Amino acid sequence: MEPVIHIENLWVSISGRDILKGVNLEVPRNVVFAIMGPSGSGKSTLLRALNRILDLYEGLAVRGKVVVDGIDVYNSKTDPSVVRRTIGMVFQIPNPIPNMSIYDNVALGPKINKLVRSRAELDELVKWALEKAYLWDEVKDRLNSPASKLSGGQQQRLCIARALAMKPKVLLMDEPTSNLDTVATAKIEELIVELKKEVTVLIVTHNPFQASRVSDYVAFMYDGQIIETGPTGQIFTRPRNKLTEKYITGKFG
Amino acid sequence: MRRALSLKRFLDVFKLISITNFILISSVVLVVLVLFATSLPIVLRDGVSPLIHSIWNPVSEEYGFLFALGGTVVTASLALAISLALSIGLAAVYAEYIPDKLRPVVKNFMDLAASIPSVIYGLWGLKVLSPVLRSYVMEPLVSLGLSPYLGHPSPTGTSLFSAAVLLAVMVTPLSSSIIRERLVSIPMHIREALYSLGLMKTEVVLLELKYIRRSILTAMAVSYSRAVGETAAVAMVVGNVVNPYFFKIFRPGYTISSLIADQYPNAEAYYYMVPALFYAALVLFFISLAVNFLLLKSGERT
Amino acid sequence: MRTARKLKSAAILSSLLAAFLLTVVLVGHIIATVAYRGLAVVASNFPRVFTDIPAVPGAQEVGGVGPHLLGTALLVAIAFSIGVPISLLAAVFTAESLKPWERKLGKVTRLMTHMLIEFPTIVVGLSVYGIMSALTPYVKTFVPGFKPFSLLSGAVALFLVSVPYMYAQVEDGLKSIPQHVREAAYSLGAGRFLTSYVLLKYLKSTVYAALSIGLARMISETAALFFTAFGSDVYPLLDAQVLFRPIGSLTLAVYYFGLTGYENWVDLSWAASFILFALSLALFTVSKFLLRGR
């Protein structure tokens, strides 16, 4: 089957410093793909390169090819906002827009991108997304209260719902549980496994155990390069590379 | 024993300097009291009638200053509208569209603009802005047949309209700095959240402006308060003519502050003129008090 | 659909850019005009423009703004020498207050000075005139020449319009001193007054910035001087009565000469604008430099 993400020799530098040094990667459809590695290895930058959120940073230079769901991301004719509509993203800090209501946070993307034709359709979509994010039952009675009133875990699930409401092909998750407690983390991990029915999930984590719990495939990154990639079971039982082995056994740094 | 005594002496010095606080407090109280007390004769004589009449005739000791009150409200409101558009544009472009390296230049330039003495704005407004507005804005609109609504401009272009435009230029550096500081302080993760939804840059900028709407409200209140109280610059371009039709903005007129500034050389020659001017000042005082009360309510002032 | 969205986006972007450019161009034009027209007059009348009295209206020559410069200097000198000690000491008292009554007094001071900032300066000037007029009959028995339109009134008005800024700047500075520095200062064992002196020394650049901000306020104020200093185009007689006679200022010179129809006086107004702008630019630069990184 055609991979949904295809990355070929991707180099990224910010303000003259090389962050990614020739990354090659293929991600199949409807799987959870984890990218793990120590901090500073370029995981987050790789993720941000895929939907061109990286464009927000000053002094950026990108070389190489990225194709996501048939879109040539770095083609000069490609509109970055179109790329971002195809690729949802969930961030390290739960970041709902604080002074907007729960409903409006989820409805924002579909509304502005005109994905729905009527209010009823929008209501339906918001409900669907919140259900998929395991949040509907907790918030259905207070959809109009501000998002900032939710707990950290709820806010993160709201962000997942916000991304899902755009019906993306790919969902990028940048260490989505690093600011949450263990209970909230468990709930989100459970959710991630469910999500692959809808989308391809690309998750970045600095925690190898989380990678082993949620993912079907895993890549290990170090110093701006992908050291090793393969099915999760194989990498965690028979790593081929010494660095990978050191990392998953917790003997790193 | 000696130690205790010397400590006590130091403490007393500290208490002594509370005199300076009393001086400050009592000067503010005095300023307000005198405002009330001096306007008392005309308040007792005329009540609220000066507020609702536009007859300014010192010879017969008649002082209705509705025309000036109207001029103040009209110029300050128009200035607020123009300045709101300018400050939002300025702040948004500053925070979102110019490169980081250029920002300190623009910031210092605008801060400098805010520090230029207002009388210099006034001279520029009189000699440069008013004639330009007359030739390129007022005359064309009048030739379209709008003079019944807007009035005919004076030969020099001094008018309520010119005053409003000048005020807008004057208050924009300050009000845009309030919006700008808030805009650049929007956390990166909020910005990323908006972009990750596939919004175009201008859509993100509009949402960010909506996000900081309280600061925009604060900026508006600050602008209005400054526009209402500004004197020297307005007095130079507003024309200083008693104009009961203050809504015809192309005509010259008066604002409360320019009335006071323009009339003071002869004030002492009449019996009730000084109280009348104090009455007008009192009205000005209450307007800015009301605006500042709103500002306090909006709660974003330190 | 997509093109409509792009068009809307382009329209918004161009109006934002237009607002930005318009403001920058207008402000740039003000500065350029003052520099160009003012400098021309100052240069062709150098150095007499700083010392001469204004020429007669309609004359070929422009004369100078000597009396106005001296007036501004006298007004500012008096206002500054009242304003600095009062604002510094009041700020110290507010920031270092401990006992309930002290804190309350500090709070009221803060509130009142904050209110004073928001008063239109013309109102402040008018009020000073009112105070001086009310005092006139009583003071006249001791000082026969006492008048409400005077250097003294002008200086009091300038004091009132500038003191809240100096006070607030220093008070904010004192409040923002890190706890460990404050503790270190107090651990020296001196009383609060002497300790505050140490803290003010620690805040040196903030204090100087506050003073230059206050100075800039005084120099650029016009409205508060109408009803107080009144204005004068001749050199004041520097005798014992100088405090009680009207006096000119640079800002009043810009105002009057600018509003007349005489070409040479309008030129003089541009010259005065230029001098005023140069002074305020200098003070602006000083305070920016002192507050850099903040």
Task: Report which secondary-structure segment, H or E, holds C83.
Answer: helix C66-95
- β-partners of residue A11 are A21, A63
Give buried/exposed letters for A183-200 (b at 16+ CB in 10 A, else e).
Answer: ebbebbbebbeebbebbb
Residue of C128, C120, C71, C127 lying closest to C253 (CA atoms)? C71
Residue of B85, A114, B179 lying closest to C12 (CA atoms)? B85
Contact B232, C43 (CB under 8 A): no
* Cβ distance of B192 and A53 shorter than 8 Å: yes
Q: Which residue stretches of chain B are H helix? A: 2-16, 18-46, 49-52, 66-96, 103-115, 118-124, 130-133, 139-141, 147-150, 160-184, 188-196, 201-211, 213-229, 232-237, 256-267, 273-298
Instruction: Tell me how far apart the alpha carbons of residues B71 and B159 are, in angstroms, rounded to a whole number.
Output: 10
Q: Which of B200, B201, B228 sits opposite C120 (nearest CB)?
A: B228
pTM of the model: 0.92
The superfamily CATH assigns to domain B46-298 is: MetI-like (1.10.3720.10)
Residue B137 has pLDDT above 60, yes or no: yes
Residue of A62, A74, A48 lying closest to A14 (CA atoms)? A62
B108 contacts chain C (CB < 8 A): yes
As a whole number, the mean pLDDT across chain C is 94
**Paired tokens of B48:** 């609220």
Contact A69, A169 (CB under 8 A): yes
> Using only C-alpha atoms, what is the Rg of chain B?
24
Query: What's the pLDDT at B6?
Result: 55
Give the start-end residues of each E strand in chain A.
5-14, 17-27, 32-36, 60-68, 71-72, 87-90, 170-174, 200-205, 217-222, 225-231
B205 CB neighbours in chain C (<8 A) are: 12, 16
B197 CB neighbours in chain A (<8 A) are: 84-85, 108-109, 112-113, 162-163, 166
**Angle in degrees, CA A132, A133, A136, rounded to 5:** 85
Query: What's the pLDDT at B301?
Result: 43
B215 CB neighbours in chain A (<8 A) are: none
Residues C66-290, CATH architecture: Orthogonal Bundle (1.10)
Chains that touch C (3 or more CB pairs under 8 A): B
Instruction: Tell me how far apart the alpha carbons of residues B214 and B220 are, in angstroms, rounded to a whole number.
Output: 10
B169 contacts chain C (CB < 8 A): yes
Query: pLDDT tens for residues C182-224?
Result: 888 888 877 788 888 899 999 999 999 999 999 999 999 999 9
Instruction: Tell me how far apart the alpha carbons of residues A247 and A38 are, in angstroms, rounded to a whole number.
Output: 8
Instruction: Tell me how far apart the alpha carbons of residues C78 and A94 are, in angstroms, rounded to a whole number.
Output: 58
Contact C251, B232 (CB under 8 A): yes
Q: What percent of chain B has pLDDT over 70?
A: 94
How many CB atoms lie under 10 A from the CB of residue B256? 31
Instruction: Tell me how far apart the alpha carbons of residues C172 and C182 are, in angstroms, rounded to a whole number.
Output: 14
A163 CB neighbours in chain B (<8 A) are: 196-197
Instruction: Tell me how far apart the alpha carbons of residues C190 and C96 are, in angstroms, rounded to a whole number.
Output: 14
Query: What's the pLDDT at B129?
Result: 97
Query: What's the pLDDT at B264?
Result: 85
As a whole number, the mean pLDDT across chain B is 92
Residues (pLDDT < 70) of chain A are 1, 253
Instruction: Indicate the burial class of B3 (C-beta count within 10 angstroms; 0-12, 13-18, 19 or more).
Output: exposed
* Shortest Cα–Cα distance, B196 to chain A (Å): 6
* In the block, residue with structure tokens 């422009």: C62
How many CB atoms lie under 10 A from the CB of residue B227? 27
State mean pLDDT over B52-72.
Answer: 95
pLDDT tier for residue B110 given thresholds of 50, 70 and 90: very high
**Paired tokens of A237:** 């039982």
Contact A221, A37 (CB under 8 A): yes
Residue B272 has pLDDT above 90, yes or no: yes
DSSP state of C236: P
SS3 C268: helix
Query: What's the pLDDT at B302?
Result: 38
Task: Report which secondary-structure segment, H or E, holds C258.
Answer: helix C250-259
- The number of angstroms, rounded, from the C-alpha of C175 to the middle of its chain's C-alpha atoms is 24
**Paired tokens of C274:** 């230029």
DSSP state of C22: H
Residue C202 amino acid letter: Y
DSSP line for B5-46 = HHHHHHHHHHHHTHHHHHHHHHHHHHHHHHHHHHHHHHHHHH
State mean pLDDT over C11-23.
Answer: 97
How far is the first Cα of chain A from the last one, in angstroms, to the nearest whole number?
A: 38
Instruction: Tell me how far apart the alpha carbons of residues B66 and B54 are, in angstroms, rounded to a whole number.
Output: 5
Find out whether the peptide bond into C85 is cis, omega within 30 degrees of 0.
no
Contact C126, C228 (CB under 8 A): no
Q: Which of A82, A83, A91 sits opposite B193 (nearest CB)?
A: A91
φ, ψ for residue A225 (rounded to 5)? -135, 155
Give buried/exposed letters for B148-181 (b at 16+ CB in 10 A, else e).
Answer: eebbebbebbbbbbbbbbbbbbbbbbbbbbbbbe
- The number of angstroms, rounded, from the C-alpha of B290 to the middle of its chain's C-alpha atoms is 13
State mean pLDDT over B65-69.
Answer: 97
Instruction: Tell me how far apart the alpha carbons of residues C131 and C148 are, in angstroms, rounded to a whole number.
Output: 8
Query: pLDDT tens for residues A130-163?
Result: 999 999 999 999 999 999 999 999 999 999 999 9
Contact C106, C175 (CB under 8 A): no
Torsion sign, CA atoms C14, C20, C26, C28: negative
DSSP state of B253: B
A99 CB neighbours in chain B (<8 A) are: 211
Q: Which of C18, C31, C273 sits opposite B123 (nearest CB)?
A: C273
State mean pLDDT over B91-102.
Answer: 93
* Cβ distance of B197 and A97 shorter than 8 Å: no
Contact B15, C100 (CB under 8 A): no
Query: What's the pLDDT at B116?
Result: 97
Chains that touch B (3 or more CB pairs under 8 A): A, C
Chains that touch A (3 or more CB pairs under 8 A): B
Instruction: Tell me how far apart the alpha carbons of residues B229 and B289 are, in angstroms, rounded to a whole number.
Output: 11
SS3 B107: helix
* Cβ distance of B85 and C90 shorter than 8 Å: no
Instruction: Tell me how far apart the alpha carbons of residues B190 and C260 are, in angstroms, rounded to a whole number.
Output: 55
Query: pLDDT tens for residues C233-259?
Result: 999 988 888 999 999 999 999 999 999
Counting one residue from chain B and one from chain C, the pairs whose CB atoms sit within 8 A come to: 260
**Paired tokens of B128:** 């440069």
A98 CB neighbours in chain B (<8 A) are: 190
Query: pLDDT tens for residues C52-75?
Result: 999 999 999 999 999 999 999 999
Query: pLDDT tens for residues B171-204?
Result: 999 999 999 999 999 999 999 999 999 999 999 9
Instruction: Tell me how far apart the alpha carbons of residues B29 and C112 are, in angstroms, rounded to a whole number.
Output: 8
Q: For residue C128, what are the contacts with CB-CB under 8 A and spacing of at least 6?
A: B31, C153, C156, C157, C160, C224, C227, C228
Q: How many residues make up chain A in this entry?
A: 253
Query: Which residues of A lie closer than 8 Å to B, measured between beta carbons?
Result: 51, 53, 56, 58, 81-86, 88-89, 91-93, 95-99, 108-109, 112-113, 159, 162-163, 166
Q: Are strands A200-205 and A32-36 parallel, antiparallel or unpaired?
A: parallel
* In the block, residue with structure tokens 């827009």: A97
State mean pLDDT over C9-30.
Answer: 97
Domains of chain A and any CATH numbers: 5-248 (3.40.50.300)
Residue B1 has pLDDT above 50, yes or no: no
Query: pLDDT tens for residues A215-231?
Result: 999 999 999 999 999 99
Residue of B29, B24, B38 lying closest to B282 (CA atoms)? B38
Residue of C276, C241, C239 lying closest to C255 (CA atoms)? C276
Residue B107 has pLDDT above 80, yes or no: yes
User: What is this model's ipTM?
Assistant: 0.96
Instruction: Tell me how far apart the alpha carbons of residues B26 and C157 are, in angstroms, rounded to a whole number.
Output: 15
Domain-wise residue ranges, chain B: 46-298
Q: Mark which residues 251-290 of B lie under 8 Å from C by CB.
A: 257, 260-261, 264, 274, 277-278, 281, 284-285, 288-289
Residue of B66, B76, B65, B63 lying closest to B249 (CA atoms)? B76
